[in-house]
Each structure stands twice: as structure tokens, then as C-alpha cells.
A and B are shown apart, each in its own frame.
Chain A
Amino acid sequence: MNAMKKILLGEQGLVVIFALAFAIVSIFVPNFLTERNMLGLLQSVVTIGIVACTMMFCLASRDFDLSVGSTVAFSGMIAVMVSNASGSILLGLVAALLAGSAVGFVNGVIIAKFRINALITTLATMQIVRGFALIASDGRAVGINDPSFYQLALSRILTIPAPIWVMVLLFLVFGFILNRTVFGKNTLAIGGNPEASRLAGVNVVRMRIWIFALQGLVCAVAGILLASRITSGQPNAATGLELSVISACVLGGVSLAGGRAAMTGVIVGVLIMGIAENVMNLLNIQAFYQYVVRGFILLIAVLLDNMRSSAAGRGKA
């Protein structure tokens, strides 16, 4: 009993739970462990997975970003509209990446430089940016003119769709950044103890702005892939994404109090969200129930996290 408790509440507890759940689902849910379903599952979590990479940095540095859903929709819209207008997909993509980064940069400047609460700031920009997306498109979906734009999402490398590769690549890149670079360690440091970091010479303000700008850039990547997959720029795309992404991060053991984050945890968090949805689809459970299940998963994750940190606290004393 105690040994089990130790494993579940330890560093790798979440991975163990995930592996168990995966095994159980594979055995009992028909059609789950098939190549087709696995690819479908991964496809379905691409947007959440990509945005979770930088949300992890944001939360780890004690910040918060609610504007990601709007930024994904907005930058997808920009990509489609600029491509259509200029006839150059490349130009569209660059414009989208710039637009996304700009949103993040503005968030960062307001939050870090003017010291406005991150929750309030991004709540505001979330609405402003969504408004931009609606205004630009007059509230309607904008279809993609050049079919090669679709190919971004449709093309396959080694039978696996490109967006999944992008997600995996970003997982690797951001995992490396978090664990092996100055940027990653400084992120954890300013979340873990802002004052100590400042005194040690870390430029906390600049770090926070960078993190938000990066968040915007990555949202734009997700927005482009999403637009390509749904073959249009949708002003209402990715509503509620921020909540799924934050849930996935918290599930993955990222601390809302800052200072604690791990890429493997976040990946597992993203997959748990995806599997829950996937299994319910396979079992023909009505979509409405998925909200309830998602909510419960999040609550359980937070409770588990609480138990884990108090167990760690006891270990110290």
C-alpha cells in the first residue's frame, strides 16, 4: 500500500497512471488500439498539444494566458486572408506568425512592464483579439483559395500526418529548452522565487515578455495548422482552447504557483485529455457528457497534485 502510494505520488506517478489507464483502455475498448484510431487521437490533440508547450513556460514562470484560443483563431484567419490576397502562401504564413507573436508581445509588455495582473490582461486581449478575427472576416468563415495550403495538414511523412510531426517536434524542442537552456532554467527560477532570480541578475521583465511572445508565436503555428485542416479561416475556431490547454498542463503536474514543470508531464496531460474524449467517442457516449468527464479529470489531477506536494512537504520536515 505504502509502496504504491510512493509510486503514485512520486515524480513519475502521472506516467504510471497514464500507462495503466492506456493498458486498460486498450484491452477493454474495441477499436482503440488500431493505427487509424491512434492517428486520429493524435490529430485531435494537435492544437492543444502545440499550445501546451508554451503554456507550460507561461505557468512555470507564475503567469497565466487566457488569450491563446483567440490568438489561434486570429492568426489562422490572418494566414488565410493574407494568402488569398497576396497569392503567396509563404507570405500568409509569415504574416500569421508575426501577428501571433505581436499579440503575445503586447500581453507580455502589459503584464511584465506595467505590472497588470496576467489573468485580467489576457482576459481583455482574449476578447480584443477574438473581436479582430470577427471584424476581419465579417464574422464568416473565409475559405482557402490555393489548395496547396490544405497540403500542410494533409501531407503525410512515413504515413503520419504532418501536424503530428510538428507537434512531436515542438515537444522535443520545448522539452530541450526547458531542461537544457538558460531560457528554460530562468523560466523555472522566476516562477520558483522571483526575488531571488532578480537578485541573481535574471532580467525578470524581459524574460516574461519573451515567454508571452513565444506563446503567441506558437499559437500562430497551431492556428495555421488548424486553418489548413479545416480548409478555412474560422473566426470562432478554438473557443475554450485556453481551458483545455491549462487543464492539460495542470494534469501534467505544472504548478499554477510557478516553478514546477516537466515536458513529459505535459505530454501525458495532453494525451489523457485526448484519450478520454476518444474513448467516449468510441463508446458512443453523448458529447455532452464529455464536459463532465473533462471537469472531473481536472479536479482529480489537482487533488492528486495537492497530495503530492503535501507528501513532498512532509518528506522535508
Chain B
Amino acid sequence: MRDGAVMAFLEFRSISKGYPGVQALSDISFSVEKGAVHGLMGENGAGKSTLIRILSGDQSADAGSILIDGAEQNYRSVRDAFDAGVIVIHQELQLVPELTVAENLWLGRFPARAGVIDGRTLVETVRSRLTDIGIDVDPGAKVSSLSIGARQMVEIAKAVMLDARIIALDEPTSSLSSRESEILFSLIDKLRSRGTVILYVSHRLDEIFRLCDSLTVLRDGKLAAHHQKVADTTREQIITEMVGREISNIWGWRERPLGAVRLEVRGMSGTRLPVPISFSVRQGEILGFFGLIGAGRSEMARLVYGADRRHTGTVAIDGVTTAPGNPKAAITAGMVLCPEDRKFDGIVQGRSIEENITISSRRHFSPLGMLNPKREADLADQFIAKLRVRTPSRRQDIINLSGGNQQKVILGRWLSEQGVKVLVIDEPTRGIDVGAKSEIYDILYELAAGGMAIVVISSELPEVMGISDRIMVMCQGRIAAEIARGEFDERRILTAALPDKNAAGTI
């Protein structure tokens, strides 16, 4: 370990970072040697993204420091990190689609005389550079005409052109085909031999074993394990390190009597969910959907609700098939969806709590479109009390509420619709602090006890395990496992959710 420290090229020293209500990173220290590919693993919310953001200069740590080649870095912006030789390649690529590959690589430093670009130098330098690092892309092609995989290569080429000393890749293969991934891997091998440090964030164990020299596992914002040599560890050990957490009892789950089947989904598929899936939810049941980001959970919800067009399959509520591709029909049939992105799809910013609650249901008591202020006020007060929304008045602008209280208002909006039978709720407690979380859970239990069928989608494993009666695990657009409450097991669920099935081992 001493020797390793001497060789360290990139070093994180006691990095901590907190957000309101959550400690994203606490006391993270590890180092990476020159010319090493270092893996960074952990569940969703373990702190990987936060660490990458701090490395990229996008956010600054509350405490701790980053050292590059022994020198402490004090950069305050992404630009500063750039200048220090750190380049982070995010999943959304930073390319200009209407410019050519060569132009993108030279952007900001075009070779020019009196402002006129030297087109030949532009293309030829890029061509030789691309050949040099073995990327087969036409420098004259517009980026918008390239595949996602090719664009990723261009992004890496850009990092190389900028003489990046450290390149961080955030889930680079998530949208690549296996052939494209293989090209990416050989490119990474080449960079490694040139002495570049690569920080490789991935969920995929087979990639970690294929590529990485060393590995850090994060869990709940803490350093769970650091492996100097990936070859010395096993898949099972890494999974255990990622999971290894006690389930605390903030969930307050109680046994509920279950009734007849309320929601029945049969052979449903769509553009972004090509493999047909089927499942059903009973009266009073909470069905949890777990999967890593991009596993297709939200797509599933949008298909069930009719927000996206179904290619095949049927959705029935209490045995009655709902019309496809039409959220209005779903609402009429008694289904409501609380979307994942509250800020974007949920709250109406700048309007009062009252309006946010009654916006959907008021059409039932507004003949000829004339509002009924008394009725609306009563309804709003009723749900503010019932859902324990903390606010001085129903007239308060919703933007002033905390995340948890906003979520309650959104729930109130849907529950004020008469005859809701099925509630689909996507990431019910994202960005909500712990105290408000358990209140949201209590509301969900209450609704279920009233006979509602509830589908909860979450990327937080403890939450899904804590509140669901049954869990469907999704992976790459398919249902990978269905597990009853009595058989909940973190390892089993996570293994099913991880994309490389070789890792399953035990199942």
C-alpha cells in the first residue's frame, strides 16, 4: 500500500460531500496508478456520480482534496479540470451534431490564418490522429450522421487530442452494441499503454473484469472496498461488497389482506420495450419494480398508462380492457401515474397547492367550465389534512414546498380523482429526505389498505424491498425475476438486475 501511494497518479483524499437531507459521500480515499484502468462500482445512489462530478470540477467537495501527479488540485470549474488534464465523458455526449468530426475535435482551437480555417490541416491532423489511436471514423463526416458508438469514439478522440491525463467514462457501454463495446475496450487498452489513467464507472461485472486493473466499490457514500488487483477478487465478493447493508426498519410494512386481481397486463411491448411482459397486481397489493437505470422500468410504466403506444398486449383493470395509447382512457378506467420527474412532469410551478391538487379532478364539478371555488378549496383542504402536507395555507405556491410535501400534493391530485383503482408511482421518494419518506410510505399503505393496486417503481433497492409485497426485477427491458416478500434477498435481486448473466453464478 505504501509503494502504491508513491506511484499514485490520481489520488482522492478524504472526499466528503453532502446534499440537503443526504450525505452523498463521506471520507472517500483511494488512489490510482499511472496507466491503470480503475473501476468504480456501486448501486444507484452509492455516490459514484457525485464522485465523478467532483473530479470533473462540476461540483466541489465539502471536504477533502484531489491530487494529480502529487499536486493538490484546487479547480473550481469544469474548465479548470480540463486544464488540469481531467476529462469526463458523460452518457450525454458533448459534441456539436452539425459539425464534422474534425471540426468537433478542433473546436475552440481551429487551425486558421486570419480567421479562415485551414481545411486541409484540420482534416489531415485529425485523420492521422484517429489512425494513430485506431479509431475508424471519417474525419469529414458530420457527427449527426454517426452511430452512438462512433460518437463515443469521437468523444474519446477529443479527450486524447486535448492531451487528457485522466479520462473518466460514465457507463460508456450503456448504449453500445457488443461489437462497439469491443472496439471501445481495445481503445481503452491502447490508452492504458500510453499511460493515461482511466476511471471506469460501470454496472457490468464482466466489463470490470475484462478491463480494469484496480477497483473501488462504493456503498451508501462510503468506501466499501478497494481492490489493488481486480484479478484477486471474485464476482461474488464484489456483489457482496456492493450490497452488504442491513435493512433498517424505517419502512413500517404491515401484512395486508389481498383481494381479487385489479390490474392485469398481458404480453405488453412497445418501441423501447421490445420483449412482451406480463404481470398482475391484486387489490391491496404493492408491487415493486426494481432495476438499474435504463432497465426499462419507466418505459414499462408509460406503456401501462398509455403515455406511449403499445405494440402488443392488453392492460385490464378489474377485468375491463383499457383503450391503448391514451392516458385519458387510463384515467377514466381508474388508473393514475405519478411520474418520475416531479419538477418536469408533475408539479405546475408558480401555481398554488390548491390548484395543483384540483387541476385534474375539478372538471367533475365545473359545469360548462365554470369553476366552483368553494368545492375546490374544500377538496384542497381535505387532502392537505389527509396527506399531512406541511404548509401555512392552500394558497401557497407549490414551489415553496419541500420535495416530500410536493410529492404529497401530487398524490393528492390523483387521489382527488374519484374511483382510483390503480396507482403507478415512479420513484416515489427521489430527492426526499428520510422523515418525509416514511410519511409517503404510510400514505401508500393506507391507499393499498383501501383496496387500491399500487405499482411502485424505484431504483433504490432498500426502498423496493422495504415497502413491496412482491418484486419484479427488470434488466435490459425484460423481467429478470419475480420474487415474493418472504424470499426477498438483496443479493438475489441485485444479481438478477445486473446485466451480465454470467455473474449470476448462484442462480
A189 close to chain B: CB less than 8 A = yes
Please determine whether B96 and A181 come into contact, CB atoms closer than 8 angstroms.
Answer: no
A196 close to chain B: CB less than 8 A = yes
Choose from B110, B144, B146 the contact partner of A312 (Cβ within 8 Å): B144
- Return the chain A residue nearest B96 by Cβ: A192
Report if A180-B107 is in contact (Cβ < 8 Å); known contacts: A193-B97, A196-B94, A196-B95.
no
Which parts of B270-314 form the interface with A (CB within 8 Å)? none
Please determine whether B110 and A193 come into contact, CB atoms closer than 8 angstroms.
Answer: no
Choose from A181, A188, A312 the contact partner of B99 (Cβ within 8 Å): A188
Contacts of A181 in B (CB 8 A): 112, 115-117
**Complex Cα distance A192/B117, Å?**
19
Please determine whether A185 and B97 come into contact, CB atoms closer than 8 angstroms.
Answer: no
B210 close to chain A: CB less than 8 A = no
Please determine whether B108 and A201 come into contact, CB atoms closer than 8 angstroms.
Answer: yes
**Complex Cα distance A7/B94, Å?**
31
A202 close to chain B: CB less than 8 A = yes
Please determine whether A200 and B107 come into contact, CB atoms closer than 8 angstroms.
Answer: yes
Please determine whether B147 and A180 come into contact, CB atoms closer than 8 angstroms.
Answer: no
B103 close to chain A: CB less than 8 A = yes
B18 close to chain A: CB less than 8 A = no
Please determine whether A259 and B108 come into contact, CB atoms closer than 8 angstroms.
Answer: no
Which parts of B86-110 form the interface with A (CB within 8 Å)? 94-99, 103, 107-110
Please determine whether B117 and A189 come into contact, CB atoms closer than 8 angstroms.
Answer: no
A4 close to chain B: CB less than 8 A = no
Please determine whether B117 and A196 come into contact, CB atoms closer than 8 angstroms.
Answer: no
Please determine whether B108 and A185 come into contact, CB atoms closer than 8 angstroms.
Answer: no
Report if A192-B145 is in contact (Cβ < 8 Å); known contacts: A197-B107, A199-B79, A200-B108.
no
For chain A, what secondary structure do more than half of its interface residues adopt (helix, strand, loop), or is it mixed? helix
Choose from A183, A189, A315, A316 the contact partner of B107 (Cβ within 8 Å): A189
Choose from A191, A259, A316 the contact partner of B145 (Cβ within 8 Å): A316
- Return the chain B residue nearest A190 by Cβ: B96
A195 close to chain B: CB less than 8 A = yes
Contacts of B115 in A (CB 8 A): 181-183
Report if A259-B116 is in contact (Cβ < 8 Å); known contacts: A200-B108, A201-B109, A202-B107.
no
Choose from A180, A199, A260 the contact partner of B78 (Cβ within 8 Å): A199
Report if A192-B99 is in contact (Cβ < 8 Å); known contacts: A180-B117, A201-B109.
yes
Report B113-129 CB contacts with A as 1/0, cut-off 8 Å. 00111010000000000
In the assembled complex, how far is the CB of residue A201 from the closest CB belonging to chain B, in whole angstroms?
Answer: 3
**Complex Cα distance A180/B98, Å?**
15
Contacts of A312 in B (CB 8 A): 144
Report A189-214 CB contacts with B as 1/0, cut-off 8 Å. 10111011111111000000000000
Please determine whether B94 and A195 come into contact, CB atoms closer than 8 angstroms.
Answer: yes
Please determine whether A197 and B117 come into contact, CB atoms closer than 8 angstroms.
Answer: no
Report A247-262 CB contacts with B as 1/0, cut-off 8 Å. 0000000000001100
Which parts of A115-133 form the interface with B (CB within 8 Å)? none
| From B96, B103, B115, B146, residue with most partner A Cβ within 10 Å | B96
Choose from B107, B109, B119 the contact partner of A196 (Cβ within 8 Å): B107
| Contact-size category for A | 20 to 34
B82 close to chain A: CB less than 8 A = yes
**Complex Cα distance A183/B110, Å?**
10
**Complex Cα distance A259/B142, Å?**
12
Report if A185-B99 is in contact (Cβ < 8 Å); known contacts: A201-B108, A202-B107, A312-B144.
yes
Report B32-48 CB contacts with A as 1/0, cut-off 8 Å. 00000000000000000
**Complex Cα distance A9/B98, Å?**
17
- Return the chain B residue nearest A258 by Cβ: B98
**Complex Cα distance A307/B145, Å?**
16
Contacts of B119 in A (CB 8 A): 180
In the assembled complex, how far is the CB of residue B249 from the closest CB belonging to chain A, in whole angstroms?
Answer: 44
In the assembled complex, how far is the CB of residue A314 from the closest CB belonging to chain B, in whole angstroms?
Answer: 12
Contacts of A183 in B (CB 8 A): 115
Please determine whether A182 and B110 come into contact, CB atoms closer than 8 angstroms.
Answer: yes
Please determine whether B95 and A182 come into contact, CB atoms closer than 8 angstroms.
Answer: no
Contacts of B78 in A (CB 8 A): 199
Contacts of B112 in A (CB 8 A): 181-182
Please determine whether A182 and B99 come into contact, CB atoms closer than 8 angstroms.
Answer: no
Report if A193-B108 is in contact (Cβ < 8 Å); known contacts: A181-B115, A182-B117, A316-B147.
no
In the assembled complex, how far is the CB of residue B297 from the closest CB belonging to chain A, in whole angstroms?
Answer: 21
Please determine whether B144 and A188 come into contact, CB atoms closer than 8 angstroms.
Answer: no
**Complex Cα distance A193/B103, Å?**
13
Please determine whether A199 and B98 come into contact, CB atoms closer than 8 angstroms.
Answer: no
Contacts of A198 in B (CB 8 A): 79
Please determine whether A180 and B116 come into contact, CB atoms closer than 8 angstroms.
Answer: yes
| From A180, A193, A201, residue with most partner B Cβ within 10 Å | A193
Choose from A186, A200, A201, A259 the contact partner of B98 (Cβ within 8 Å): A259
Report if A316-B144 is in contact (Cβ < 8 Å); known contacts: A196-B94, A196-B107, A202-B107.
yes
- Return the chain B residue nearest A176 by Cβ: B116
Report if A189-B99 is in contact (Cβ < 8 Å); known contacts: A202-B107, A316-B144.
yes
**Complex Cα distance A183/B116, Å?**
8
**Complex Cα distance A185/B94, Å?**
16
Contacts of A316 in B (CB 8 A): 144-147
Report if A192-B108 is in contact (Cβ < 8 Å); known contacts: A180-B119, A199-B78, A316-B147.
no
- Return the chain A residue nearest B100 by Cβ: A185
- Return the chain A residue nearest B143 by Cβ: A192
Contacts of B146 in A (CB 8 A): 316
- Return the chain A residue nearest B110 by Cβ: A182
Contacts of B144 in A (CB 8 A): 312, 316
Report if A196-B96 is in contact (Cβ < 8 Å); known contacts: A180-B119, A181-B112, A185-B110.
yes
Report A98-122 CB contacts with B as 1/0, cut-off 8 Å. 0000000000000000000000000
Which parts of A58-107 form the interface with B (CB within 8 Å)? none
In the assembled complex, how far is the CB of residue A136 from the closest CB belonging to chain B, in whole angstroms?
Answer: 36
- Return the chain B residue nearest A184 by Cβ: B117
Please determine whether A199 and B82 come into contact, CB atoms closer than 8 angstroms.
Answer: yes
Please determine whether A185 and B95 come into contact, CB atoms closer than 8 angstroms.
Answer: no
**Complex Cα distance A56/B362, Å?**
46
Please determine whether B96 and A199 come into contact, CB atoms closer than 8 angstroms.
Answer: no
Choose from B97, B110, B147 the contact partner of A259 (Cβ within 8 Å): B97
Contacts of B96 in A (CB 8 A): 188-189, 192-193, 196-197, 259
Contacts of B116 in A (CB 8 A): 180-182
Contacts of B95 in A (CB 8 A): 193, 196
- Return the chain A residue nearest B93 by Cβ: A196
In the assembled complex, how far is the CB of residue A207 from the closest CB belonging to chain B, in whole angstroms?
Answer: 11
Contacts of A202 in B (CB 8 A): 107-108
Report B147-159 CB contacts with A as 1/0, cut-off 8 Å. 1000000000000
**Complex Cα distance A260/B103, Å?**
14
Report if A185-B79 is in contact (Cβ < 8 Å); known contacts: A200-B107, A260-B98.
no
Give me the interface of A with B, judged by CB distance under 8 Å.
180-183, 185-186, 188-189, 191-193, 195-202, 259-260, 312, 315-316
CB-defined A-B contacts under 8 Å, sample of 26: A180-B119, A181-B115, A182-B110, A182-B115, A185-B103, A185-B110, A185-B117, A188-B96, A189-B96, A192-B96, A192-B97, A192-B98, A193-B95, A193-B96, A196-B94, A197-B96, A199-B79, A199-B82, A200-B108, A200-B109, A202-B107, A202-B108, A312-B144, A316-B144, A316-B145, A316-B146
A-B pairs with the 5 shortest C-beta distances? Answer: A200-B108, A201-B108, A192-B96, A196-B94, A200-B107
In the complex, given contacts A188-B96, A192-B97, A312-B144, what are 7 additional A-B residue pairs having Cβ atoms less than 8 angstroms apart?
A182-B112, A182-B116, A186-B110, A200-B107, A315-B145, A316-B145, A316-B146
